[in-house]
A and B are shown apart, each in its own frame.
Chain A
Amino acid sequence: MTVAMKVEASADRIQARKRGARAGQRWGNALFILPFLVVYLLMLVIPLFKGIWISLLEVDMLSNSADFVGLDNYVELFSDEIFIGAVLNTFYFVLISTPVFIALGLALALALNRPGRTGATLRAIFFGSSVLSVTIVTLVWKLVLMPHHGMLANITESVGLPSLSLLTSETWALPTIAVVTVWWIIGLPMMLFLAALQQIPREIYEAAALDNASRWRTLWSITLPSIRRTVALVAIIEVILQFQLFGQAQLMTQGGPNNSSRPIVQFIYEAGFRNWELGYAAAASQVLFAMMLVAMAFQVWLSSRKQAY
Chain B
Amino acid sequence: MTGINLRGIDKRYGSVDVINNFELQINPGEFLVFLGPSGCGKSTLMRMIAGLEEVSAGEIHVAGRDVTHLAPGARDIAMVFQHYALYPHMTVYDNMAFGLRNVGVPRDEIDRRVQEAARMLELVPLLERKPVEMSGGQRQRVAIGRAVVKEPLAFLFDEPLSNLDAALRGRTRIELARLHQRLKTTMIFVTHDQVEAMTLATRIVVMNAGRIEQLGRPMEIYHRPATRFVAGFIGSPAMNFLDVDRIEAPNGFVAVRLPDGTTVQTSVPAAGLPTQSKLTLGVRPEALSIGAAEESDVLVGNAEVVERLGDQTFAHIALRNGELVIVQAGADSTISVGDLVGVRLDHSAVHLFDQSGIAYHAQARSVA
Contact = CB atoms under 8 A, between A and B. Distances in A.
Interface size range of chain A in the complex: 10 to 19
B279 interface: no
Given A217-B102, A221-B98, A210 B87 contact: no
B146 to A, nearest CB: 8
A271 interface: no
Contact of A206 (B52, B74, B77, B98): B52
Given A214-B102, A221-B87, A222-B87, A209 B73 contact: yes
A221 B89 CA distance: 9
Contact of B77 (A210, A221, A228): A210
Contacts of A79: none
Interface in A166-212: 201, 203-204, 206-212
B226 interface: no
Contact of A211 (B81, B83, B88, B99): B99
B32 interface: no
A221 B90 CA distance: 9
Interface string B204-241: 00000000000000000000000000000000000000
B79 interface: yes
Nearest to B89: A225
A165 interface: no
Contacts of B72: 206, 209-210
B103 interface: yes
A151 interface: no
B140 to A, nearest CB: 14
Interface in A236-264: none
Contacts of B73: 209-213
DSSP class of A's interface residues: helix, strand, loop or mixed?
helix
Nearest to A309: B89
Nearest to A228: B89
A206 B86 CA distance: 11
B343 interface: no
B53 to A, nearest CB: 10
Contacts of A225: 89
Contacts of B52: 206, 209-210
Contacts of B77: 210
B99 A212 contact: yes
Interface residues of B, number: 23
Contacts of B85: 201, 203-204, 206-207
A225 B86 CA distance: 13
A299 interface: no
B102 A203 contact: no
B71 interface: yes
* Residue from A206, A210, A212, A225 having most chain B Cβ neighbours under 10 A: A210
B148 interface: no
Contacts of A212: 73-74, 99, 102-103
Interface string B94-120: 000011001100000000000000000
* Residue from A207, A221, A228 having most chain B Cβ neighbours under 10 A: A207
Nearest to B104: A212
Interface string B62-95: 0000000001111001110101011111100000
B50 interface: yes
A81 to B, nearest CB: 48
A214 B50 CA distance: 17
Contact of A213 (B88, B98, B146): B98
A213 B95 CA distance: 12
Nearest to B98: A211
Contacts of B51: 209-210
Given A212-B73, A213-B73, A207 B87 contact: yes
B151 to A, nearest CB: 13
A213 B79 CA distance: 15
A7 to B, nearest CB: 41
A226 interface: yes
A226 B51 CA distance: 24
Interface string B258-300: 0000000000000000000000000000000000000000000
For the complex of A and B, the 8 pairs showing the least CB-CB separation, nearest first, are: A211-B99, A212-B73, A203-B85, A225-B89, A207-B85, A212-B102, A209-B72, A210-B72
Interface of A: 201, 203-204, 206-214, 217, 221-222, 225-226, 228
10 contacts: A204-B87, A204-B88, A206-B81, A207-B85, A209-B73, A210-B73, A210-B77, A213-B98, A213-B102, A222-B87
Interface of B: 50-52, 71-74, 77-79, 81, 83, 85-90, 98-99, 102-103, 146
